[in-house]
Amino acid sequence: MMDIQRLMIIGGGQMGSGIAQVVAAAGMNVILNDIDPAYSLKGLGTIRNNLIRDVEKKRKSQAEMDAILARISLSSDLEDGRNVDMVIEAIVENMQIKSELFKKLDLICPQHAILASNTSSLAITEIASFTKRPDQVIGMHFMNPVPVMKLIEVIRGLRTSHETYLLVENLAKRMDKVPIEVNDFPGFVSNRILLTMINEAVFCLYEGVAARESIDEVMKLGMNHPMGPLALADFIGLDTCLAIMEVLHEGLGDSKYRPCPLLRKYVAAGWLGKKSGRGFYDYKKREQ
């Protein structure tokens, strides 16, 4: 079986940089690629800050930190993927953009390379169809924040080979993660359940069942959730929540997945949650 030693991570954002960190920490060489060099630089800065914190808390030595950083290189050119064993894509949740990327990767990467997507809701089978290697395309849905969260949903497309699955399962374990096998359905398991709950919480607010703080407190104190669903939606990004709900609604065709009109309204207003300073909660006020 192939030994995966060199990976390219595409997308220098929160997820991409987190994946690059855990890959490098597991002893593999990683290229962190972003079309905008500023993003991959920022991603590397995030990794460095995470590792500095680990050293301060005695979870890692300075030598370990230096070794991890030495295994990460930055790139803004997809051609740098011509010698990798695997690519993990962590870009925007948009099938058209992903399809263009996978077409390019299929031409650039070596024949043996596995192409994985960190999509949180889009069909792996469809992504694979844009390549001439659908048996080597798979989903690896990491959880945020990647260095901390153990779960990886490993999603088999219709044509994903068993060998590809085993290689990715083994890779997840090398990264000290827990791989869970999931079939290719809209939203997989995590977001099919989580986003439906978040959407229902938005409906509770929309219909005046309770105030936002009350809805979140009920789920925290009554269901032992570490964060209430509306605060969690702000953390995820309301535009991302809406995109996933639309994938669920369109893919499964059931009215129970209909995005709440209030969620649509907030996204249209540019209230996207924590990243924009305002979502269900106002983060600009909190910082003052």
287 inside domain: no
Whole domain around residue 254: which residue ranges? 190-276
- Is there a catalytic annotation at residue 141? yes
154 and 194 both lie in a single domain: no
User: What are the backbone angles phi and psi of residue 239, rounded to the nearest 5°?
Assistant: -65, -40
121 and 203 both lie in a single domain: no
Give the 3-state DSSP-derived string for 159-206, with helices as H, strands as E and coil as C. Answer: CCCHHHHHHHHHHHHHCCCEEEEEECCCCCCHHHHHHHHHHHHHHHHH
1 inside domain: no
CATH of the domain at 233: 1.10.1040.10
> What total number of domains does the chain contain?
2
27 and 170 both lie in a single domain: yes
The per-residue pLDDT for 180 is 98
The one catalytic residue among 75, 118, 153, 199: 153
93 and 178 both lie in a single domain: yes
237 and 254 both lie in a single domain: yes
117 and 137 both lie in a single domain: yes
The one catalytic residue among 17, 50, 141, 199: 141
285 inside domain: no
146 and 25 both lie in a single domain: yes
Q: List, for residues 144-158, the tens digit of each pLDDT value.
A: 899 999 999 999 999
Give this prediction's pTM: 0.91
12 and 155 both lie in a single domain: yes
CB atoms within 10 A of CB 62: 10
Q: List, for residues 162-178, the tens digit of each pLDDT value.
A: 999 999 999 999 999 99
169 and 211 both lie in a single domain: no
**Which stretches of the chain score pLDDT less than 50?**
288
69 inside domain: yes
Last residue within a domain, chosen from 157, 183, 209 = 183
- Is there a catalytic annotation at residue 162? no
157 inside domain: yes
Residues forming beta bridges with residue 9, ordered by sequence position: 32, 88
- Is there a catalytic annotation at residue 191? yes
The one catalytic residue among 118, 120, 121, 199: 120
154 inside domain: yes
Q: Measured between alpha carbons, how far is 182 from 7 in angstroms, rounded to an integer?
A: 23
149 and 86 both lie in a single domain: yes
Last residue within a domain, chosen from 135, 167, 183 = 183
Last residue within a domain, chosen from 166, 183, 200 = 183
The one catalytic residue among 50, 117, 121, 191: 191
The per-residue pLDDT for 288 is 44
Strands 72-75 and 29-33: parallel
CB atoms within 10 A of CB 13: 16
276 CB-contact burial (10 Å; exposed 0-12 / middle 13-18 / buried 19+): middle
Helix (H) or strand (E) holding 117: strand 114-117
